[in-house]
Amino acid sequence: MKPEAKISLLKKEIEKLKKLVYLDALTKVYNRRGFLEIGGNYFKSFREDRPACAGRGKRRKNGITSLALIFLDIDDFKKINDKYGHQKGDRVLKQLAKILQSILRKTDLLGRWGGEEFVILLVNVNKINAQKIAQKLCQLIARTRITGLYLTISLGLIIPKKEKTLTMIINKADKLMYQAKKRGKNQICFLS
C-alpha cells in the first residue's frame, strides 16, 4: 500500500474513533466529553473574539461574539422508564434529540449531558433570541407526541458574562434548570 493511501486510511480511522469518543451512542449527539471539548473551543473563541469587538458594534468575521447556554431536563422521566420500560425511555431520548437538532442552527452545539439531560450552546445569539429559542423548545416539546407520549422539559438559560470556563456556565445553567423544576416544571429560568 502506498504511503498516501495509508495516511488516508489512518485519517478515516481517526475520524471513526473521534465519533466513538465524542458522540453519545444512543442519541448520536455529542456526549459530555465531546460537548466539553467542542464547546470549550467555542468558549475560548468567544473569550478571544469578544474584546476585539467591544465598543465597536462590529463582529469579527466568523468570530464568536456572543453565547447562550441552555441546560434542559425531561420532566418526570423516571416515571416513563418505570411505567413503559427503558426501551421506551431510550426511544424518547432519541426522538427528543432529533427534535432538538431540527430546531437548532448548524452553528449551535447540542450534547447529551447524561441520563435525560441535554445541554445546548447557542452561538452568536442575543439575549432576546436566546430566550425565544428556549421558549420555542419548551412549547414545542410540550405539544409534540414523542413516541406516543406528551412530555415536558425544564430549562435553565444563561448568557455568559464573567465566567472563566464553560464548566462554570454549565453548572449555573444546571442550577437554573432545577429552579424551573421547583417552580412547577415545563418552564425556563433565565439569568443574564
The residues that are catalytic are: 116
pLDDT digits (tens, 9 = 90+) for 47-91: 887 655 444 444 445 688 899 999 999 999 999 999 999 999 999
What CATH number is attached to the domain comprising 159?
Answer: 3.30.70.270
pLDDT digits (tens, 9 = 90+) for 135-155: 999 999 999 999 999 999 999
In order of 39, 79, 137, the CA distances from 49 in angstroms are 15, 44, 28
Looking at the 3D structure of the chain, how many domains does it have? 1
Range of the domain at 129: 3-191
In order of 39, 109, 133, 146, the CA distances from 100 in angstroms are 17, 10, 11, 12
Classified as helix, coil or strand, 70 is strand
Question: What predicted TM-score, i.e. pTM, was given to this entire model?
Answer: 0.87
